Amino acid sequence: MSFVERLQACRLFEPADYLPFLVDGSRVGLVRPEFAARLAGFPDVFEVESDWVALAPQLTGVEERGRAVRIVLRQLADEGIIRSWRDEPYAVAARPEGPLLFLMERAAIPQFAIWATGVHLNGFVRKGSDLYMWVGRRSPDKHIAPNKLDQIVAGGRSALHGIRETLLKEAEEEAGLDAAFASRAISVGALSYCTRRQEGLRRDILYVFDLELSPDFTPTNSDGEIAAFELWPIEQVLERVRDTDDFKFNCALVVIDFLIRHGVLTPENEPDYLTLARGMHAG
């Protein structure tokens, strides 16, 4: 196995398998033909042709569009087509952080391949010259990636919260980091990918942060999403990402980025260094 395989897990996308989803003539997402066929049953909300799907043009404004789409999505959720409804609105836009077109339930975002954003925090510890990273194991009850390994803090960003606000909220809920301390986290970049998953096509932007922690700090989870935390030497983290698929697919990407930025992976010790460096932005 290799780090490159972790990148490939974030690139499982064949454009010919999807139809563009349009709003006001702009492509905002992608849908599978079989899902488009189901949307065709709601002609007041969706226009479906052989090579595209569009939001009905008579729907205008953020509130009217969102209300009409939500009614359809609730019915599809009742039919089991959309799973794990969260009552969490996500922004729909033609490009990441672009002008808001309407709001959509988070659970439906991958079905339409809408750009979504999230935050991931690397919690690390230095003991002399040795580097350690906190690793969380996701709850077995999670609908997505149960029991997989994760960052100390990670979460999707709803339309109700900004990036830094999402970070502070998730840090408190997932790791017991109070806002004053979590606010010390350093913004270190953003990663992107487009990949097919069980829940649909994920087109995500991950805003990444680093936070150095004291050796005597132990994270505590309060929202039930993390079953346990462990502090691992960075070599153990590296080996688990390189040699297994134990990390959640996008969390592995965040770890590889951390290893590159902190000089653990270098052009001298990693033959696929350039491929990895370029692969952080495959979306």
Instruction: Specify the CATH number for the domain of residue 53.
Output: 3.30.750.160
Regarding whether 146 and 96 lie in a shared domain, the answer is: no
Regarding whether 242 and 226 lie in a shared domain, the answer is: yes
Regarding whether 160 and 55 lie in a shared domain, the answer is: no
Query: 263: domain CATH number?
Result: 3.90.79.10
Domain span at residue 175?
Answer: 3-11+116-279
What percent of the chain shows pLDDT beyond 90? 94
Regarding whether 57 and 190 lie in a shared domain, the answer is: no
pLDDT band at residue 1 under the 50/70/90 scheme: confident
pLDDT, the chain, mean: 96
Q: What is the mean pLDDT of residues 235-252?
A: 97
Cα angle: 72, vertex 115, 40; to 5 degrees = 30
Q: Give the whole-angstrom CA distance, residue 255 versus residue 257.
A: 5
pLDDT band at residue 283 under the 50/70/90 scheme: low
Regarding whether 196 and 92 lie in a shared domain, the answer is: no
Q: What is the pLDDT of residue 161?
A: 95
Regarding whether 262 and 198 lie in a shared domain, the answer is: yes
For residue 282, pLDDT over 80 is answered with no
Q: What's the pLDDT tens digit per position in 171-220?
A: 999 999 999 999 999 999 999 999 999 999 999 999 999 999 999 999 99
**Cβ-Cβ contacts under 8 Å for 36 (sequence gap 6 or more):** 19, 48, 53
Regarding whether 126 and 83 lie in a shared domain, the answer is: no
Regarding whether 101 and 41 lie in a shared domain, the answer is: yes
Regarding whether 266 and 141 lie in a shared domain, the answer is: yes
Q: How many domains does the chain have?
A: 2
Domain final residue, candidates 90, 112, 134: 112
Regarding whether 256 and 124 lie in a shared domain, the answer is: yes
Q: What is the pLDDT of residue 233?
A: 98
The first and second tokens of residue 282, run together, are: 């495959």
- 10 Å Cβ neighbour count for 210? 17
For residue 71, pLDDT over 90 is answered with yes
